[in-house]
Amino acid sequence: MDALLIDKHVKYIQSLGENTDDLMYHLTAHLRLNAIYWGLTALFIMGHPEALVKEDVIAFVMSCWDDDEGAFGAHPGHDAHVLPTLSSIQILVMYDEVERADKERLVSYLAARQNPSGSFSGDRWGETDTRFSYITLQALELLGRLDAIDKEKAVAHIRRCKNYDGGFGATEGAESHSGQVFVCTAALTILDRLDEIDQPNLAWWLAERQLPNGGLNGRPEKLEDVCYSFWVLSALSILHKLKWIDSDALIRFILSAQDPDGGGIADRPGDMVDVFHTVFGLCGLSLLGHPDVREINPIYCLPAEIAKKRGLHMNYQVLGKDEA
């Protein structure tokens, strides 16, 4: 089996900010804060949290504050949105600096995203998605203010997004998708409402996502992709059913998608690497108990030690670790 190239991956993440000639780079300004969160999370679970300069990262986060709306945009000058707002809060939490944010304004921005139906919008323009339910709920829990929204309605909306195969979609009536299954399962965990899940049916659907080459796909009859190592495994971990798939085959698949020269992990072997697949590949390895990766808490996709310190939900499974 291939080795996990920790040093190469650390260097790859460090180099991301320096790669100024990359043609694709300017296109990702709308994901810049997310990218920093992905990179930082990867560094934390690889045991190198110091690889980025803490004060620089925090200064960048604070420069993305949208003072008109009272939340964070993805890049200085971009409109506020729940996605970069969660990334900002997660970064500050990882550095134990969440006090630097204007909590009161954040809470009112986040709470205002809930719609009368219980769903959540991503910003004031209204696009809704179960991703935004999860993002807002996690952000509010990290701020200690889950009381700011109507939890019953939030649960009811997620319940309406459940499908006949046990999975969840982006909106009511939308097809089950592993990514949406992750956000709904984690959101219900945050709300202490895992009883809403048709657990055997969903876990079976998730196990069915593994393909003969070991990789996982997002929907039936689709291609495997390293990022589903996190979307599928996180949900299986929350349901304590990680053993239902072949973990050795999946570990082999993730490791084979590493770039042995420049570092980083790609969506599948031979493709270009990016920070998104790098962090989710590493998170997958973490849940499968790879000895070189520290524990990730799949409910928040945050390092477990940090989640534990803050008293967050910790009920999930990691392979090779004794279950309480």
Sign for the pseudo-dihedral over CA of 152, 153, 158, 161: positive
Residue with tokens 């980025």: 52
Side chain identity at 147, as an amino acid letter? D
Least distance between another protein and beta carbon 77 (Å): 6
CA distance 20 to 22: 6
Q: Where are the alpha helices (H) located in 168-269, listed in sequence order?
A: 178-190, 199-207, 228-238, 247-256
Least distance between another protein and beta carbon 93 (Å): 19
Give whichever of 207 and 292 is closer to another protein, judged by the CB atom. 207
Give whichever of 122 and 281 is closer to another protein, judged by the CB atom. 122
Give whichever of 112 and 148 is closer to another protein, judged by the CB atom. 112
Least distance between another protein and beta carbon 206 (Å): 10
Least distance between another protein and beta carbon 37 (Å): 12
CA distance 258 to 212: 19
Least distance between another protein and beta carbon 322 (Å): 18
Give whichever of 6 and 249 is closer to another protein, judged by the CB atom. 249
Give whichever of 35 and 312 is closer to another protein, judged by the CB atom. 35
CA distance 68 to 51: 33
Q: For residue 133, give every residue at least 6 positions away whose Cβ sits within 8 Å of its Cβ, in sequence order, or none.
A: 119, 120, 154, 157, 158, 183, 184, 187
